[in-house]
Amino acid sequence: MPWLTIATAILSLIATAFANTSCVWILPLYTAGLISLLIMSGTGVIKLTRSILFLSFMPILVFLYVDHSTTRPGPNDLTHYINKRIVFRAIFLDTPTSRSANATNQTGTIRALRLDFPEQKPLTGKARLIIIASNKNPTPQFKPGQVVQIEGQLKSIGQKQEPWLSGLETTSKRNGIFSQICATAHHIKLTDNESAESHKNDALTDANDFINQLRQRIANLHLRYLGTKTGSLLASMVLGDRAVTLDIDILNAFRKVGLSHIVAASGFNLTIVTFITYWILRRLFTHRLFITFVVCANVIFYALLAGLSASVVRSAIACLLLLLVHLYYRKLHSLAALAIVLFINLIADPAIIMDLGAQLSYAAVTGIIIGAESLTKTFSFGSDNKIVNLFASSLAVILLAQMAVFPIQLYHFWQASFLFLPANLIVDPLVAPITVIGFISSFVGLLDLGPIHIGSCFCQLLDLLASIPLQIIIYITDKLASSNLAVISTGQPGIVAIALYYAFLLFFLATLAKGKYRLFSLTLFSIALIFLFYKPNLKQPVIILLPNSTIAINTERKAICLGNESPQTNKILSFYGATLVSSKYDPDKTFQFALSSKPNASIIVNEETQDTRFLLTIPSENNTPPKTYIVSLSRNKSDQNKFMSVLEPTSSLSLAEFSKDLPDIDVKICCPQNSVGIRILTQ
């Protein structure tokens, strides 16, 4: 019964979402409603079938399962020493790496072993270690299995952060990591060999090391023959973006034009792996069970090699399910099969629902399954021409995937690209041959035997062949990303707008398949789309203090940036859906930026000094003099004191006092205490 499978997966998904967001209040409320339903059924008021009873009890069972399987800190966990300075011993679980190509700090995962200060006792739990780079103390190359002594102050990963900060709270908690610690190389000391020998790697760690080395070897092959830019792109298309650090300019360009899925391992990669392996084995062997077993093992191995991202796990489960069904000459209902995959995924990892990659992956596939056939027929106008049908099918898949993930992208990234359609139509035909060549090249490159380098030679030739379409993709992406339509800041949409969008999208796809009420459903969907983009004025202006700049956004969502612009600036503007005001003014004159339509506050800035200080004026009531704040952003304390002494302010404020003194302005402080000086010029 496909509908029962789909309904079970949907209810499990909802219950898992409530459990992951700690909405415990929903459990007694739902239980009370279920008891009332059973009483009415027993008294004959209503009749309940076995399917309805099964579906009614499913959310409670799922909620209890998720709550039971959720990882929590143990009795001797590191989290008991949060906000305290400690000295402890830990073992590296992975090799510390930089998060991006331009980053100097390294991040790794450690498992605590023993506490040395302020007391001595056994310690458990995992933590994220951020190794701060220093010119005086270069960062050593730590390896998995090494035992170190670390000194530093422990912080909680769960501390509330601003939405535009790239928090890793959800991913970390899924891996049992609830704390983090920052330390320079000077405060990280390797222990003696005897201590390290007492914590030898187990078989699972050895297997993980082997996969990491194999992944790195494949990536190095492509980097060696094609260079950093093109080679990293090919490695990402073959193994996903977890295999290699992609060039930051290429990654940003792909994100702008909606091509991020190309560099992430997904169902397309696993389809190629499965098809190639199955095709080769069918010509060598005839035993169906043996062929299925080998292909399934190959799917699992590739999923491990690609890094077990959300899309890879979904695709791997789907491939394994399809192979097993094919072995027994059965067929799958597409949507029911996706529901089974989701249910298995939730059982294995209930927190997967909070993963952004999983949300995008399942939403895109669901949209394609529901509407691809009917939308393809609509675009082809009933034509029997293969080229027309192929183009219509490609257009339908691209549109449906984007329509399905669009609200999720707006909710998490706060910006939209209107060039995804031409970008995908031009680039997608090149992806399949490049990926196939990349797979063959990666496999052949690993076949060098002793002094014979035949594999490397073939790998180099295949990489050079793939470099031509790769250069075309890079060129097209760069050109499209430089357009003004590449990215438009939209702000974060509301939950109600997202719910209406999906409701009318499903209604539109249903009418498209039935052939009735198409115009009516399209009108409703268009209204929901407009509502998704609707941006009312802000309730109050916003001032965000950053280490080297300040961003001011007025109620009409217009913004100015005083100081250095950075990638974080673009994130903040996208979150608020604000447009940066480009004003050229005379350096000898001041520029006034009104924070709202009412004259309640304004920022006065001079071109010569806008990188270090500005004036914030707020008129007072009862004909009293206006209050003027002098805000100086500088890490050099002497510069602040020099500036303040010239203007002769009456008193100073801390950052906390400054934010409390402005109830009509939303002040967000995202910088250290020593980087901002605030004074009151007049009281």
**What CA–CA distance (Å, rounded) separates 646 from 563?**
21
Contact 101, 87 (CB under 8 A): no
For residue 372, CA distances in Å to 139, 326, 377, 400, 615 come to: 52, 23, 9, 7, 57
Q: Where are the domains of the chain?
A: 2-69, 78-200, 213-411+420-482, 542-682
Give the model confidence (pLDDT) of 366-419 as tens digits. 999 998 888 898 888 878 888 888 888 888 988 998 899 999 988 888 888 888
pLDDT confidence of residue 230: 87
The vertex-194 CA angle with 189 and 200, nearest 5°, equals 95
Q: What percent of the chain has pLDDT over 70?
A: 82
What are the tokens at 638? 């002497």
Q: Which CATH number fits domain 78-200: 3.40.225.10, 2.40.50.140, 2.40.50.100, 3.40.50.300?
A: 2.40.50.140
Comparison of pLDDT for 504 and 235, the residue scoring more = 504
**What CA–CA distance (Å, rounded) separates 293 from 16?**
32
pLDDT confidence of residue 650: 59
The vertex-273 CA angle with 424 and 476, nearest 5°, equals 20
Determine if the peptide bond prior to 163 is cis (ω within 30°): no
**Sequential DSSP letters for 638-670:** HHHHHHHHHH--SEEE-HHHHHHT-TTSEEEE-
Give the model confidence (pLDDT) of 481-518 as tens digits. 888 777 788 888 888 999 999 999 999 999 988 888 88
**What CA–CA distance (Å, rounded) separates 544 from 568?**
11
Global pTM value: 0.82
**What CA–CA distance (Å, rounded) separates 167 from 158?**
9
Range name among 196-205, 359-368, 653-662 with the lowest pLDDT average: 196-205
Q: Please state the rounded mean pLDDT for residues 534-552.
A: 83
pLDDT confidence of residue 448: 64
Q: Which residues lie below 8 Å from residue 408, measured CB to CB, with a gap of 6+?
A: 356, 359, 360, 363
Q: Which stretch of DSSP H or E encloses residue 677? A: strand 676-682
Q: What percent of the chain has pLDDT over 90?
A: 5
Give the model confidence (pLDDT) of 447-460 as tens digits. 765 555 677 788 88
Nearest to 233 by CA among 397, 467, 579: 467
212: pLDDT strictly greater than 90: no
Give the model confidence (pLDDT) of 164-202 as tens digits. 665 556 667 777 788 888 888 888 888 865 444 444 455
Give the model confidence (pLDDT) of 421-448 as tens digits. 888 888 888 888 888 888 888 888 877 6
What are the tokens at 302? 């590739």
